[in-house]
Protein backbone atom coordinates (compact mmCIF):
# COMPACT_ATOMS: atom_id res chain seq x y z
CA UNK A 1 0.00 0.00 0.00
CA UNK A 2 1.55 3.33 -1.02
CA UNK A 3 2.00 6.02 1.62
CA UNK A 4 -0.22 9.03 1.07
CA UNK A 5 0.27 12.52 2.53
CA UNK A 6 -2.23 13.32 5.26
CA UNK A 7 -4.56 16.29 4.82
CA UNK A 8 -4.23 19.32 7.09
CA UNK A 9 -7.35 18.18 8.97
CA UNK A 10 -6.00 14.64 9.43
CA UNK A 11 -2.72 16.05 10.75
CA UNK A 12 -4.52 18.39 13.16
CA UNK A 13 -6.71 15.53 14.43
CA UNK A 14 -3.71 13.31 15.08
CA UNK A 15 -1.71 16.12 16.71
CA UNK A 16 -4.61 16.70 19.12
CA UNK A 17 -3.96 13.17 20.43
CA UNK A 18 -0.22 13.85 20.92
CA UNK A 19 0.31 16.75 23.35
CA UNK A 20 3.62 18.50 22.79
CA UNK A 21 3.81 17.59 19.11
CA UNK A 22 3.26 20.30 16.49
CA UNK A 23 3.37 20.82 12.77
CA UNK A 24 6.61 22.42 11.58
CA UNK A 25 6.35 22.98 7.83
CA UNK A 26 6.12 19.56 6.21
CA UNK A 27 7.10 17.74 9.43
CA UNK A 28 5.82 17.02 12.89
CA UNK A 29 8.11 18.05 15.72
CA UNK A 30 8.61 17.56 19.45
CA UNK A 31 11.22 18.44 22.07
CA UNK A 32 11.71 16.77 25.43
CA UNK A 33 13.54 18.23 28.45
CA UNK A 34 15.10 15.54 30.61
CA UNK A 35 16.70 15.71 34.07
CA UNK A 36 20.27 15.22 32.83
CA UNK A 37 22.52 14.76 29.83
CA UNK A 38 22.72 11.05 30.61
CA UNK A 39 18.91 10.74 30.58
CA UNK A 40 18.71 12.63 27.28
CA UNK A 41 21.39 10.40 25.74
CA UNK A 42 19.60 7.28 26.95
CA UNK A 43 16.36 8.51 25.38
CA UNK A 44 18.16 9.02 22.05
CA UNK A 45 19.37 5.42 22.18
CA UNK A 46 15.83 4.17 22.88
CA UNK A 47 14.43 6.30 20.04
CA UNK A 48 17.09 4.93 17.68
CA UNK A 49 16.07 1.38 18.59
CA UNK A 50 12.39 2.11 17.86
CA UNK A 51 13.31 3.76 14.57
CA UNK A 52 15.29 0.71 13.50
CA UNK A 53 12.39 -1.59 14.43
CA UNK A 54 9.98 0.51 12.35
CA UNK A 55 12.55 1.20 9.60
CA UNK A 56 11.53 4.85 9.83
CA UNK A 57 13.95 7.51 11.01
CA UNK A 58 13.54 11.06 12.26
CA UNK A 59 15.94 13.97 12.33
CA UNK A 60 17.15 13.92 15.91
CA UNK A 61 19.10 16.52 17.93
CA UNK A 62 20.66 15.93 21.33
CA UNK A 63 21.30 18.93 23.55
CA UNK A 64 22.67 18.92 27.09
CA UNK A 65 19.38 17.74 28.59
CA UNK A 66 17.05 18.00 25.61
CA UNK A 67 16.05 15.74 22.75
CA UNK A 68 14.40 17.36 19.73
CA UNK A 69 13.12 15.62 16.65
CA UNK A 70 11.30 16.25 13.44
CA UNK A 71 9.54 13.53 11.51
CA UNK A 72 8.22 13.21 7.99
CA UNK A 73 8.19 10.58 5.31
CA UNK A 74 11.13 11.64 3.15
CA UNK A 75 10.05 9.56 0.15
CA UNK A 76 6.70 11.36 0.11
CA UNK A 77 7.99 14.76 1.26
CA UNK A 78 5.05 15.13 3.61
CA UNK A 79 3.52 13.88 6.84
CA UNK A 80 1.97 10.41 6.59
CA UNK A 81 0.38 7.94 8.99
CA UNK A 82 3.79 6.32 9.31
CA UNK A 83 5.10 9.48 11.01
CA UNK A 84 2.36 9.37 13.60
CA UNK A 85 3.06 5.67 14.24
CA UNK A 86 6.64 6.65 15.06
CA UNK A 87 5.55 9.63 17.17
CA UNK A 88 3.23 7.43 19.26
CA UNK A 89 6.05 4.93 19.87
CA UNK A 90 8.39 7.75 20.90
CA UNK A 91 5.76 9.08 23.31
CA UNK A 92 5.75 5.68 25.01
CA UNK A 93 9.45 6.25 25.77
CA UNK A 94 8.95 9.74 27.20
CA UNK A 95 9.43 10.31 30.92
CA UNK A 96 6.21 9.57 32.74
CA UNK A 97 5.14 7.09 30.04
CA UNK A 98 7.27 4.12 31.02
CA UNK A 99 10.66 5.36 29.80
CA UNK A 100 13.70 4.22 31.74
Backbone Cα Rg of the chain? 13
For 71-84, what is each residue's pLDDT tens digit? 999 999 999 999 99
The total number of structural domains that make up the chain: 1
Whole-model pTM? 0.91
Q: Which CATH number goes with the domain that contains 12?
A: 3.30.1360.20
pLDDT at 100: 36
Helix (H, G, I), strand (E, B) or coil at 65: coil
Instruction: Tell me the CA distances in angstroms from 100 to 46, 63, 65, 97, one per residue in order.
Output: 9, 18, 15, 9
In a domain, 100, yes or no: no
What does the DSSP 8-state code read for residue 37?
H
Mean pLDDT of the region 50-59 = 95
In a domain, 1, yes or no: no
In a domain, 77, yes or no: yes
Q: Which domain holds residue 58?
A: 6-95
Amino acid sequence: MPLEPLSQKEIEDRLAELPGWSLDGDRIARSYRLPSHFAATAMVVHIAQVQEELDHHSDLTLGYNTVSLTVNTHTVGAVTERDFDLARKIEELAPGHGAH
